[in-house]
Amino acid sequence: MLPFSFIGQWSYTNAATPVAQNIPMTAKPDWVFVKDVTNWGAQNTAANPIYSEWFSANMAQGSYLALGQPSSTGAGVVTYASQGTSGGFTFINQTNPPTFTKVAITAVNGTTFVVSTGTTTGINVGDTVRLINVVGAQQISGPNLYQVTAVSAGVSITLGYAASAASAGLVVANGTTGFYQKVYPGQFLPNTLPVAYITQATQAVVYFFRQNPYTPGELVDFQIPTPYGMTQLSNLTGKSGSGPFSSNPAGAARVLSVTNSATVSSITIDVDTTGFTAFQYPTSAAFAGGASPAVCMPAGSGVVPLNGSATIPASPPGTNLADAFDNRSQYIMNIGLNAVGVANANMIVMAFKADFVNGITNA
């Protein structure tokens, strides 16, 4: 048995504007390194970092050691060393993720969902945050998780999925002071999600505040409290059914199509909501007076529809296995912007864990 066991090797290519990378791993590594195989040793090419690494033994979460190279001529390339305490390597056990302190905000735009704040440290596109006690917009405060779609360093974060719901019809007043807090969401999927907005249409479109886990053919149900309007959509599972592709409400709603783009998270369902009460968020004061969230819950697996059709099943009938209840938690090594490498570089990641340990220690 060697002092270090090889956990695995991964590769990725940075975009023109590099973003943080999440590397799934089967174990918690004790040593991780990332190497730039595009620019390594290339003369006339300044690149920082071309190599970065992290050791579990004496390095904090988010820190890194790095090597960079200046542009040079002649034989060989001289590298220079650096280190930092943020933007490096962060290990995440998704069943027991790290927690973060709350950060003050000064405003939330109820239309664009731009959240003004002086501190955006550690926030990246794709992260999820919750809003806490936003004055004037308490209905969007609390357990709801919002996905970040843009970050303006030290100025604001944008919750683009919520903004798309606002474009569709979600009405929320502007908020003022409050807090945001970064949160890692659970990975037991499919999961219950707060609903941002539901259209009144022959095939209703349901909007969410972050990317959704639902798949075409999956059955979903809703619990819509009275302050949100469209209560007719609640508890469909308990309502009498008369066939998988007949008029609804007839059992749980079938997902016909799914959108999970960079700023839009929605599902189209086979429920005609044109005659239903309009969906609306309660006002800030009404929510603070006592309300439960409007939620969409996974309710089962159904026949897969043909290209989003509400009436024609796929032929041969498709069986959806992607909607099985599943624990998709992983160990993740997040490689932050100070370690992820430079633009357009091909990067190699290798991870190792120490085996030379006894399973007994004294307190």
Return the half-sphere exposure (C-beta side, CA atoms, 13 A cut-off) of residue 321: 0
CB of 360 to other proteins, least distance (A): 6
CB of 120 to other proteins, least distance (A): 19
Which residues lie near other proteins (CB under 8 A)? Answer: 1-2, 95, 99, 102, 130, 132-133, 138, 141-143, 179, 181, 186, 188-192, 219, 221, 223, 235, 237-244, 246, 250-252, 287-288, 290-293, 295, 297-302, 321, 323-327, 355, 357-360
CB-wise, 201 or 297, nearer to other proteins?
297
CB of 197 to other proteins, least distance (A): 18
Q: What is the 3-state secondary structure (H, E, C) of 331-348?
A: EEEEECCCCCCCCCCEEE
CB-wise, 41 or 238, nearer to other proteins?
238
CB-wise, 17 or 358, nearer to other proteins?
358
| Contact criterion met (CB below 8 Å) for 137 and 114 | no
Between the CA of residue 162 and those of 136, 165, 261, 280, 293, what are the distances in Å?
17, 5, 13, 14, 15
CB of 132 to other proteins, least distance (A): 4
CB of 89 to other proteins, least distance (A): 23
CB of 238 to other proteins, least distance (A): 5
CB of 200 to other proteins, least distance (A): 23
CB-wise, 149 or 248, nearer to other proteins?
248
Phi and psi at residue 261, in whole multiples of 5°? Answer: -90, -165
Measured distance CA(65)–CA(89) in Å, rounded? 10
- The residues with which 266 forms a beta bridge, in sequence order, are 207, 259
Phi and psi at residue 178, in whole multiples of 5°? Answer: 170, -150
Beta carbons within 10 angstroms of residue 293's beta carbon: 18
| Contact criterion met (CB below 8 Å) for 211 and 193 | no
CB-wise, 39 or 248, nearer to other proteins?
248
Between the CA of residue 134 and those of 100, 102, 109, 183, what are the distances in Å?
18, 12, 11, 17
CB-wise, 154 or 355, nearer to other proteins?
355
CB of 69 to other proteins, least distance (A): 38
| Contact criterion met (CB below 8 Å) for 13 and 321 | no
| Contact criterion met (CB below 8 Å) for 225 and 292 | yes
| Among 244, 359, 260, 247, CA closest to 305 | 244
CB-wise, 122 or 186, nearer to other proteins?
186
CB-wise, 84 or 122, nearer to other proteins?
122
